[in-house]
Structure 1
């Protein structure tokens, strides 16, 4: 993936010195290769889409620079300078949640599990949960947040009984959950019904388990290829 050019205006960035604790939602993260969704995640990272949310978007050659989706996110980025990390994450979460409409992949793409790129989101103006997470990932990357501080998590929502996807931003004060179902910014330990299944940080993939007796995991999927986070908002 191409390197992301630094922005001229100083912006809040999450510190990159300490390694992120990837065992989110009180899980244990185990490095794993060839996970079913890994290729979709890497495809979403193959091109530097952070340029879509910068002032030079038109010169980048990316489609969708003049879309409502891109314009709304750029407008929020212009207000980031001077904010704390938490305020920045809260602004990004709320802005992306309002920048496109939630629709399931079947309605948008005619398939059950499609991971859209930001240019595709701009064209359609709609997406499902992992699309919101990918848009937040690229928005934060455009703000200079280190790749290793961002974690896309595929999980099971035990309350709604469906698969879901969120973006986690790791900070010194906790792992914040950027979620399309809520504009309220919470840390991972505040959401008991989320059980992570697999996650992705940069080039790395992880599966998640739990310490003995820490959670009831009888309903966790045995077939990871069946985890399609597009069944409900």
Structure 2
């Protein structure tokens, strides 16, 4: 059931009041030795989406460089929390096109009025996870092409046990190897204002430490 007409602050406060478990970003990783994990192949710097540039003019603090590069430590608890954020935002925001919402072809924004398109869902999930202590450098807005070759935006969560996708089209948090999209580009881990091209997903074995 959709929860209508939240303000951005209301979404954050509602999330804070929800029955989330405590974040355990620093806990020991739960990924077992020999488990296959997957990452999108990262290429050279590429063009920055104009929607991101314009978004940063309105929300400068959301575009700050953290100065520290870190992945999310993947545990059962952290994955549970990530899934909760994905589901909460998906069910709290009404999907509308930018043309319907703003009268323009493309605008990236936080869903302050409870409405938004794919980029807005991704930005809200990113904001909420950052505010819950997850590293900014591991929460990467990502541009993909779907099966109809249409542009789409998702949030990639980069963990020490592979990369996972938060998508407004499903409440399921999936590893990148299980996604039918073609990855195009995403934010750099070093600087969210630098974007890098993406290639095919590559799988590797997770080695215990």
SS at match of 1:210: strand
5+ residue gaps, structure 2: 1-15, 28-37, 64-74, 203-209
Q: In the alignment, does 2:196 pair up with 1:203? A: no
Distance 1:83 1:45, change over 3 A: farther
Distance 1:34 1:169, change over 3 A: closer
Q: Please, which of 166, 184, 187 is the counterpart of residue 154 of structure 2?
A: 166
Deviation by residue 1:140-181 (Cα, 9 ceiling, x = unmatched): 011011111111001111x13310000011112211100000
Tell me the residue number matched to 2:3. none
Instruction: Identify the structure with the greater strand proportion.
Output: 2
Q: RMSD of aligned C-alpha atoms?
A: 3.0
Distance in 2 (CA, whole Å) between partners of 1:14 and 1:196 is 29
Distance 1:175 1:40, change over 3 A: farther
Q: Please, which of 15, 29, 32 is the counterpart of residue 43 of structure 2?
A: 29
Deviation at 1:205, TM superposition (A): 2.0
Deviation at 1:25, TM superposition (A): 6.1
Q: Which has the higher contact order (CA 8 A, sep 6+)?
A: 2
SS at match of 1:160: coil
Distance 1:187 1:33, change over 3 A: same
5+ residue gaps, structure 1: 1-6, 16-23, 50-81, 215-233
Q: Please, which of 56, 74, 79 is the counterpart of residue 86 of structure 1?
A: 79
Taking the TM superposition and a 5 Å limit, the aligned residue runs for 1:4-19 are 11-13=23-25
Asked whether the equivalents of residues 96 and 115 of structure 2 are also in contact (C-alpha less than 8 Å), the reply is yes
SS at match of 2:137: helix
TM-score, scaled to structure 2: 0.65
Q: In the alignment, does 2:167 pair up with 1:179? A: yes
TM-score, scaled to structure 1: 0.59
How many residues get paired? 159
Tell me the residue number matched to 1:134. 123
Distance in 2 (CA, whole Å) between partners of 1:104 and 1:163 is 13
Deviation at 1:42, TM superposition (A): 3.0
Deviation at 1:196, TM superposition (A): 2.0
Deviation at 1:85, TM superposition (A): 1.2
Tell me the residue number matched to 1:114. 107
Tell me the residue number matched to 2:60. 46
Asked whether the equivalents of residues 14 and 171 of structure 1 are also in contact (C-alpha less than 8 Å), the reply is no
SS at match of 1:144: coil
